Amino acid sequence: MDDRGIAKVPFDVATYVRNMQGGRCFICALVAGEPEAFHEVVYEDDDHIAFLNRYPTLEGYVLVCPKRHLEDVIRDFSEEAYLALQALVRQIGVGLQAVLPVERIYVLSLGSLQGNAHVHWHVAPLPPDVPYAQQQYHALMGENGVIDQSPAAKAELARRLREELQN
């Protein structure tokens, strides 16, 4: 449990790194509909997909991606495509603020050509009243544990967010 009573469980970072460096692109697998790549999708159109992070450090943590496997966060996008994806990142953030209590929305692109190469943006809602020492990088690091959230709770959060995004 963290200071706010949120149940967290340890996260096996070493196994995660091995899987990300040695396996199929999990975003491409999700887009292809492979069952082992299941994530709770909150938004999808012809070019983009957004889904709840399988290993959330914050409730409502969403990944926003182009469906096409792109690896460079700047060079692989036309200006129009980049701005369209950023508009979706903003839309997801606004939706999160509508369905969860949020002090701040963290937005960043992570990944590497060595693992998690498919471009994606992290949209992570920091709840109110998190002590400052547990915000920012600390709040995003799996090494500090991930939220122990049931599949039913994830599905309900995804449903609420999808509903909000349709408005």
Please give the chain's pLDDT, 167 residues, in tens: 555 557 888 878 778 777 777 778 999 999 999 999 999 999 999 999 999 999 999 999 999 999 999 999 999 999 999 999 999 999 999 999 999 999 999 999 998 888 889 999 999 999 999 999 999 999 999 999 999 999 999 999 999 999 999 98
Sheet containing strand 48-52, strands side by side: 41-44, 48-52, 62-66, 115-126, 104-112
pTM listed for this prediction: 0.92
> CA dist 94 to 22, 42, 67, 72, 162, Å?
35, 13, 21, 26, 12
Taking the chain, what is the end-to-end CA distance rounded to the nearest angstrom? 34
Rounded Cα–Cα distance for residues 127 and 78 (Å): 34
Biggest alpha carbon distance in the chain? Answer: 44
Q: What is the pLDDT of residue 5?
A: 59
Q: Which amino acid is at 14?
A: A
Enumerate domains of the chain plus CATH numbers. 8-166 (3.30.428.10)
Segment 89-127, tens digit of pLDDT: 999 999 999 999 999 999 999 988 888 899 999 999 999
Q: What is the pLDDT of residue 41?
A: 98
**Quick one: which H or E segment has residue 119?**
strand 115-126
